[in-house]
Structure 1
Amino acid sequence: MKIGILGSGLMGGKLGRLWAGCGHDVTFAYSRSTSKLERLAREAGAAHGSVADAVEDADALLLAVHWSRVEDVLAKAGDLSGAVVLNCCVPLDLSNTDLVVGTTTSGAEELAAMRPDARWVSCFNTIPSEAFMPVFLSKEKTPRPQVLTYGDDAGAKEVAARLIRDIGFEPLEAGSLRMGRFVEPFAMATAELAYSQPGGPALTYRFEKLRA
């Protein structure tokens, strides 16, 4: 699968490296530092280039930028008509302490309004990046940790599910993009548990339905 990584920070860098390690054709894009893109590509055995390079002929894109950079990266990406876009962004303010949208809309819905012809699916925004490698290294173990996944396009969800499973997680269906109104605040709770509470940031979760 050809995957374009739009944003090469902790989330994009780590997910891109792992997908490249699974054999996917990965292109890293969108960083203030060209040398950083070059390093990521070299370490992952992947490519790097412009946002347009990453978008061209991609089977899937990962949007992994700070909310303040969303409009800029989308302007470089074009209309994204028909593109499957995995979104792991949480709509945070510049201090990364508060959501800038919520309860009556969500970052997921705002992105879909910006690029209505893209095939959006949100995932990974409730998992700290520090958990990715430990899960990948133990992906043969079961049961797997889960990733809340939500969107309005069933085919895009199938693509996301494959990529989620590739690195050792299991997708947990959480409904439509509208569920971002509730999942994005939950992401703030997972961040609190990961970064402010004892035990380290490599946090995962698994929900189970109990049957009598």
Structure 2
Amino acid sequence: MKIAILGSGRMGAALGQSWAAAGHHVTFTYARSDAKLQRLAQATGGAWASVPEAIPDADAVLLSAHWSRIPDVLKQAGELADKIVLNCCVPLDEDDANLLYGPSTCGAEELARLRPHARWVSCFNTIPSETFAPVRVRTLSPQPQVLMYGNDAGAKQVAQTLIRDAGFDALEAGGLTTGRYVEPFAMVTAVLAYGQPGGPALTYRFEKL
């Protein structure tokens, strides 16, 4: 599968490397420097490009930029009509301290309003970027879970494949409105990952008894 990464910071770089290791072709875009994009492309056997160059041939797109950069990224991306877009962004303010939406809407819903013809699926926004490398090199059984939510069943099937290829199980969590609850939960996972001993490589798995 051809995947375009819109936002090649810690999260985009980590996920891109996991997908490349699983055999996907990854194109990295939108980083602080072209040198970083070049390094990522070389390390993964992928490519690097501008946002407009990366999207047309992509089977799926990952949106992984800081929320403050979303207007600029989407402007460069265009309408994203019929594109499967995985969103791992949490809508935080400039200081990464507070959520910008809630309780009657969420970042996932706002993205769908901005690009209504894209096929949005939210996932990976409750997993620290430091988790992907250790999950990639280990065989965990059962696999840790990733919450997944969206309104497009076909896009969810593609997202489920990419979640599995990154080493996780997809936990179906409903439509985009579920983001009203998942985005605050992402703040909890950040506290657990970065505010407690043991390192930030946090995973979770929900089980019904």
How would you bin the TM-score normalised by the shorter chain?
Answer: over 0.9
Aligned residue for 1:11, secondary structure, equals: helix
Deviations along 1:173-195, whole A, 9 cap, x unmatched? 01000000000000000000000
SS at match of 1:93: coil
1:151-162 matched pairs, under 5 angstroms: 151-162=150-161
Q: Matches of 1:58 and 1:103 in 2, distance apart?
A: 34
Q: CA deviation at 1:43?
A: 1.0
SS at 2:82 equivalent:
coil
Inter-partner Cα distance in structure 2 for 1:11 and 1:127: 9
CA drift of 1:81 comes to: 0.4
1:104 positional shift: 0.7
Query: Who is 2:204 aligned against?
Result: 205
Q: Which stretch shows the higher mean deviation, 12-21 or 104-113? A: 12-21
Q: Please report how far the alpha carbon of residue 25 of structure 1 lies from its aligned counterpart in structure 2 after TM superposition.
A: 1.1
3-state SS in 1 of match to 2:12: helix
Q: Write the mapping of 1:63-102 to structure 2, written as runs, cut at 5 A.
A: 63-102=63-102
Q: Distance in 1 between matches of 2:6 and 2:141?
A: 31
Shift of 1:198: 1.3
In structure 1, the partner of 2:183 is 184
Q: How far has the Cα of 1:31 moved from its partner?
A: 1.4
Moved more, 143-152 or 14-23: 14-23
> Shift of residue 23 of structure 1?
1.2
Q: Please give the residue correspondences for 1:1-212 in structure 2 after superposition, counting only pairs within 5 Å.
A: 1-139=1-139, 141-210=140-209
Runs (4 or more) in structure 1 with deviation over 3 Å come to none
The structural deviation recorded for 1:21 is 1.4
Deviation at 1:32, TM superposition (A): 2.4
Give distance in 1, aligned partners of 2:158 and 2:53: 20
Structure 2: runs of 5 or more not aligned: none
Instruction: For structure 1, list consecutive stretches of 5 or more residues without a partner in the other structure.
Output: none
Q: Distance in 2 between matches of 1:46 and 1:12?
A: 13
Q: Structure 2 counterpart of 1:36, which letter?
A: K
Matched AA of 1:68: S
State the distance in 2 between where 1:102 and 1:33 align: 33
Relative to the length of structure 1, the TM-score reads 0.97
SS of corresponding position for 2:92: coil
SS at 1:182's partner residue? helix
In 2, Cα distance between the equivalents of 1:142 and 1:36? Answer: 34
- Compute the displacement of 1:166 (Å): 0.6
SS in 2 for 1:41: helix
Which deviates more, 3-12 or 128-137?
Answer: 128-137
TM-score (ref. length: structure 2): 0.98
* Aligned-partner residue type, residue 160 of structure 1: A
- Over aligned residue pairs, what C-alpha RMSD do you find? 0.7
Rounded to whole Å, the distance in 2 between the matches of 1:102 and 1:137 is 37
Q: Residues 146-198 of structure 1, C-alpha deviation per residue, up to 9 Å, x if partnerless?
A: 00000000111110100010121000001000000000000000000000111
